[in-house]
Amino acid sequence: EPEVTQTPSHQVTQMGQEVILRCVPISNHLYFYWYRQILGQKVEFLVSFYNNEISEKSEIFDDQFSVERPDGSNFTLKIRSTKLEDSAMYFCASSELRGTNEKLFFGSGTQLSVL
């Protein structure tokens, strides 16, 4: 079964450093998302991306965050200057459709630890 692939599975970084989290969505999917989950808390929406542009973003997704689809397969989340509170599990997701039958497929996540 096709799946969303995320790399790396774990990322440790120093506060103030830039990180790039990588995702390969399912190949025929058109909608891409990033969510995050701070340890023990609920999963929170960050951003959605369609047709090479952001379609919606949350208040969490400030100027320190950016997303890109640099080629036909990868979808990346960049955090420009990491803060301690950015430590979380980051999930990439993709869907083929948006609307009636949309099913969202999540990757296995990247655990980001900011020291």
Partner 1 sequence: ELKVEQNPLFLSMQEGKNYTIYCNYSTTSDRLYWYRQDPGKSLESLFVLLSNGAVKQEGRLMASLDTKARLSTLHITAAVHDLSATYFCGKAAGNKLTFGGGTRVLVKP
Stretch that binds partner 1, among 17-25, 65-73, 76-84, 106-114 (CB under 8 A): 106-114
Interacting residue with partner 1 among 21, 107, 112, 114 (CB under 8 A): 107
Question: Residue 32 and residue 49: Cα distance in Å, rounded?
Answer: 5
Q: Rounded to the nearest whole angstrom, what is the least distance from the CB of residue 81 to partner 1 in the complex?
A: 25
Of residues 52, 102, 94, the one with CA closest to residue 72:
52
Residues 50-89: x/- map of binding to partner 1 (CB under 8 A)?
Answer: x----xx-x-------------------------------
Residues 29-48 that bind partner 1 (CB under 8 A): 31, 33, 35, 41-45, 48
Question: What gap in Å lies between CA 5 and CA 69, rounded to an integer?
Answer: 14
CB atoms within 10 A of CB 67: 22
User: Sign (positive/negative) of CA torsion 102, 107, 108, 114?
Assistant: negative
Binding site for partner 1 (CB under 8 A): 31, 33, 35, 41-45, 48, 50, 55-56, 58, 91, 98-109
